[in-house]
Amino acid sequence: MSTLDEDLARLNFEYLMLARESARSNPAETAWRFGLDQVGIDLLASMTQEKLREHAESSRAVIQLLPVYAPSNLPTVAYVDLLQPCITGTADETHAL
């Protein structure tokens, strides 16, 4: 396996692990962050590390990046704000946000 394939497999695996943990802990956020539907979220949440590694080593990128353009009728700053995750609640001594 070439260095490029090894690097891509490592990045894919880390991405898939992150997505799986998100699918297990917060499916609604997973749908928003990773663009998955409920079937995909359920499938990802049930995958073993071995299955994730198998997908990661496919020599294809599994990461999807958002397009970097702002709609013409929306200022770039407003568009970037829309891409940020919503944080609800308030911070206190026991739960910092």
For every residue of 9-43, which 3-state class applies, written as one string?
HHHHHHHHHHHHHHHHHCHHHHHHHHCCCHHHHHH
What is the predicted pLDDT for the residue at 35?
83
Give the lowest-confidence range in 23-27, 42-46, 68-72: 68-72
Quick check: pTM over 0.75? no
Q: Assign 87 a pLDDT band (cuts: 50, 70, 90).
A: very low
Tell me if 28 sits within 8 A of 20, measured CB to CB.
no
Measured between alpha carbons, how far is 70 from 33 in angstroms, rounded to an integer?
18
Taken in order 21, 28, 26, 88, is the CA torsion positive or negative?
positive
32-69 tens-digit pLDDT: 888 889 999 999 999 999 999 999 998 888 877 665 55
Between 59 and 82, name the one with better pLDDT. 59
